[in-house]
Structure 1
Amino acid sequence: MDLGAASTGAGEYAELLEFDMDMDGFASNWAYCDRVSTYFARMISHNRSDSLLYSNLFSSALNELLETVYRLHAPSGRFVCSVARKAASERIVLTVPVDARTAEFYRGAVRVLNEGDVASRYHNALFTDGPLQPNIGLLELAVDYAARFSIEPADGNAIRLIADLKLEESDA
């Protein structure tokens, strides 16, 4: 664990926690999404004004991101999840191994999330017939948690999906 600045353009964000594992290992068990999100939430919530509420909100948000990665990733590579903080904001950076199809999914999903009218898109995605869209979890985070998303290339065949969350108001 490095307590310095987050390594991905986070500026003043201080890295709190990071895990790095082989994608094959992470994708071998759906329960890892819940376990990792619960652990991270407990570790970073202790100094929030309502640590239990914050832990629950953060765990739910991170779990949505991890479930998206669980479903959409390249067959192999390194998966990294890090959390950094700046005041009342958390930055989750997921380095996801991708192939061409998966990279296009993530680029397209972030483009949609930044085009506006996300609430309407989320509502339409929830109430359409057929299977849910693969970006439904990201839409939910944008609507319910006001998450801001960006994407950048990473070393090798990977992308960095960046989600900025503000789950409580700052006193500053």
Structure 2
Amino acid sequence: MRYVFAGLLVLLGHAVQAQIGLLQTGGRAAVSAHSLAKRPTKAGAKAKEAAAPPVKYVTPFTYRGQTVSHQRTAADQLKGKGSTEILALEALLEETYTAMRADSAQSFCPPARFDAIAAAARTAAGARPSWDYYAYQNELAFYQQEEARRQRLLNPPPPPARRPPVKRRG
């Protein structure tokens, strides 16, 4: 019986040592993986730099009870492909905004200006498709709606023609 216990002790000792070795190896691998993940890499730094969006300033304005997004990006914050096109679009929208505020009764967005803004928006979207153009679209739609309202005031439809009274025979 003594030999049986001694044999079991030897066999179990090797199994226990193997399990301890596996646990130690797994622990070392986990520590190495954690330290590699925390280590900064050149590609990771570039990805963080590219992922950081430029600061966009969206300030809503209210005109005749309607609130509209007014997005403008600082020129020093906007870099890369399509930046000049986006800044050109913002400049056209800013000119339109200033013209709208200058006189509340006159036309401020003739068809030529509207077409120029739409063309600038298409050019900017082609140059940088990942940019968020939603605020620009809303602003342009508001200008179009306000221009239509002003045109109706400036050029009211003619009154309906009066029909001559019908004479009754009698």
TM-score (structure 2 length as normaliser): 0.28
Rg comparison, structure with higher value? 2
Greater relative CO (CA pairs within 8 A, separation 6+): 1
Larger relative helix fraction: 2
Larger relative strand fraction: 1
